[in-house]
Chain A
Amino acid sequence: MNENYKVSSSPHIRDKISSSNIMLLVVIGLLPATIFGIWNFRHENAWILVVVTTAAAVLSEYIYEKLMHKPITIHDFSAVVTGLLLALNLPPTLPWWMGVLGSVFAIVVVKQLFGGLGQNFMNPALAARCFLLISFTGQMTYFVYDGVTGATPLADLKAGEAVNTMDMLIGNIRGTIGETSVIAIMIGAMFLLLMGVIDLTIPGTYIVSFVIFITLFGGHGFDAQYITAHLCGGGLMLGAWFMATDYVTSPITTKGRVLYGVCLGLLTGLFRLFGGSAEGVSYAIIISNLLVPLIEKITLPKPFGKGGEK
């Protein structure tokens, strides 16, 4: 009875959902792509890289917080998500210690040095991927499928060669561990959509604006086969559903999310069509992450009653 009279500041009503719940749901959402990737690259022993990278992310978070006398936050699964996302963004043949280095960079430099979960200014997993891509370009762009080395379908597409869209949809192609199968990614994304963890705004505007850009500047007009190949190739789907929607590094308001999605679509299209390499999703996402504070500034909602003020 006495509790009713307790005076406390807001919030007064709390939802049961917590950051560890959300992160756990994201891990579950990533599982289809992870399992498919491990199976798809079983000859390359991709599972070792996935396990080592994820474990390194959790461990480096624990060690850093221990050393800095901060509360240990590994139980909120955010480090697991970062490590897993990073692993899914790495080619299966990458030496395991490079995955570890990437994890340490993601957690210590990008996340913890800026204040931990909720304070990082860009997606840690993608920042680490770009770090590795710049440092070890050779290994990061070395793709093998079933023991055969070659270019990714996206690179073939850029070179003007024909690609098999059906294979790209199912995922038995060359690529990073988690990006190959659109179907597996979509199963996870649908799960997150149904659970209310992510909403359609960012991936929707991202994909639509990317399609418009490709149609206008791709040189093929509205060629359904070409557009589908672009959508299924590379990290676009994984990026759009799992990494662009990261709560910390995406805008809060719907207007802001639309702007952010359009920004992502334009940058990805720009990098893929006119850039030096075939893929540009990771750079597009981290650059848009940097734009988020500005987007938030121009889409700041007006407080009630302030409408007439100039």
Chain B
Amino acid sequence: MNSCAERIYNGLIKENPTFVLMLGMCPTLAVTTSAINGIGMGLSTTAVLVMSNMLISMLRKIIPDSVRMPAFIVVVASFVTIVDFLLEGFVPSLYDSLGLYIPLIVVNCIILGRAESYASKNPVLPSIFDGIGMGLGFTLGLTCIGIVRELIGAGQVFGFQIMPDSYQPITIFILAPGAFFVLACLVALQNKLKNSAAKKGKQVARAAGCGAGCAACGNRAACGGHMSALPADEKEKEE
């Protein structure tokens, strides 16, 4: 059970898909015009992620290595279709505001990334919790961005008027450029907090804490293997 809790912590904080891994930027920037959209998108993705992680983990010994990508896509697309219809049936207003971005969950890189780097190599239970952790991390990121954008751009949070009536909303924040401003500021703030915690000598979760080693990592090409070398070096120093 310990590893399950670790998976959730990993997804929420250590490898938060929005603020640390910077994955799934397209829905992050596009749908976070309000907090409720952020939560809706985050939870839809979480649902798909948990189900697909579970199924892919179950099938991991059957799927041939050479066709794993098409197989993953088929699994993910099936769940996305289910979520798509459920949203259309039960929360039509949210479905309307998320629009095209629901079908686009199929190609969301968080889902394929977790399938490739975690679910296809690990047992079912940790994979499910990995999906929950990553999904909640994504939801957290989207909701934070949504709250800030909605507050500045419309004076509301979750549709409730927060700012006084005399407040003049800065409309640009609920338009496309605002998404970039808010994301950049939140990532900077997050890095600032991390850096000052590191200065105080606290153990800080590293950005690409790929504990499993580089051989298993889907992002190896991007980091060139030096990311895992860093924490190891530091551990030696501390010891």
**Please, how many angstroms separate the alpha-carbon atoms of A134 and B171 in the complex?**
7
Minimum CB–CB distance from B119 to chain A (whole Å) comes to 39
Q: Which of B147-201 contact A (CB under 8 A)?
A: 168, 170-173, 175, 177, 181
**Of listed A95, A109, A134, A136, residue having the most chain B CB within 10 A:** A134
Residue in chain B with minimal CB distance to A134:
B172
A137 at the interface (CB under 8 A from B): yes
A21 contacts the other chain (CB 8 A): no
Whether B181 lies near A137 (C-beta < 8 A) is no
Is A135 part of the binding interface, using a Cβ–Cβ cutoff of 8 Å?
yes
Specify which chain B residues have a CB less than 8 angstroms from the CB of A137 in the assembled complex.
171
Q: Summarize A's interface: helix, strand, loop or mixed.
A: helix
Q: Is the CB of B168 within 8 A of A134?
A: no
A residues in contact with B170, CB < 8 Å:
101, 135-136
Contact B177 A134, beta carbon cutoff 8 Å? yes
Chain B residues, Cβ within 8 Å of A98 = 168
Instruction: Kindly state the separation between the CA atoms of A198 and B109 in the bound complex, as whole angstroms.
Output: 49
Is A191 interfacial (CB 8 A cutoff)? no
Select the residue from A95, A109, A134, A135 with max chain B CB neighbours within 10 A.
A135
Partner of A136, one of B171, B175, B177: B171
B171 near A135: Cβ-Cβ < 8 Å: yes
Judge if A64 is at the interface, Cβ distance under 8 Å.
no
Q: When chains A and B are docked, how far (Å) is the Cα of A228 from the Cα of B154?
A: 41
The reply to whether A134 and B181 contact each other, CB–CB distance below 8 Å, is no
Number of interface residues of A (CB under 8 A): 9
A131 at the interface (CB under 8 A from B): yes
Chain B residues with Cβ under 8 A from A135's Cβ? 170-173
B181 touches A109 (CB 8 A): yes
- Mask for A148-164, Cβ within 8 A of B = 1, else 0? 00000000000000000
Complex: A109 Cα to B170 Cα, angstroms: 16
A136 contacts B168, C-beta separation under 8 Å:
yes
- What residue in chain A is nearest B174 (Cβ atoms)? A135
**Chain B binding surface, main DSSP class:** helix
CA A136 to CA B175, docked complex, whole Å: 12
- How far is A182 from B175 in the complex, measured between Cα atoms in Å? 35
A94-109 contacts to B, CB under 8 A, are 95, 98, 101, 109
A108 to chain B, nearest CB (A): 11
Contact residues in B for A109 (Cβ distance below 8 Å): 181
Residues of A within 8 A of B177 (CB): 131, 134
Closest to B169 in A: A135
Nearest chain B CB to A274 CB, angstrom units: 22
Complex contacts, B175 vs chain A, CB 8 Å: 134
Bound complex: CA of A98 vs CA of B168, how far in Å?
10
How far apart are B148's CB and chain A's nearest CB, in angstroms?
A: 15
CA A134 – CA B168 in complex, angstroms? 13
Q: How far is the CB of A110 from chain B (nearest CB, A)?
A: 11
CB A113 to nearest CB in B, in angstroms, measures 9
Q: How far is the CA of A32 from the CA of B138 in the complex (A)?
A: 54
CA distance A135 to B174 in the complex (A): 9
- In contact, A131 and B171 (Cβ under 8 angstroms): no
Give the distance in Å from the alpha carbon of A222 to the alpha carbon of B170 in the complex.
42
Distance to closest chain A CB from B216 (angstroms)? 37
In the complex formed, the residue of A with least CB distance to B181 is A109
**Residues in A whose Cβ lies below 8 Å from that of B172:** 131, 134-135
Separation of A137 and B168 alpha carbons in the complex (Å): 11
Cβ contacts under 8 Å, A95 to chain B? 168
> From B176, which residue of chain A is reached at the shortest CB distance?
A134
Q: What distance in Å separates the Cβ of B187 from its nearest Cβ neighbour in chain A? A: 13
List 6 additional A-B contacts (Cβ < 8 Å) besides A101-B170, A131-B177: A109-B181, A131-B172, A134-B171, A134-B172, A136-B168, A136-B170
Give chain A's interface residues, CB within 8 Å of chain B: 95, 98, 101, 109, 131, 134-137
- Pairs across A and B, CB under 8 Å, 16 listed: A95-B168, A98-B168, A101-B170, A109-B181, A131-B177, A134-B172, A134-B175, A134-B177, A135-B170, A135-B171, A135-B172, A135-B173, A136-B168, A136-B170, A136-B171, A137-B171
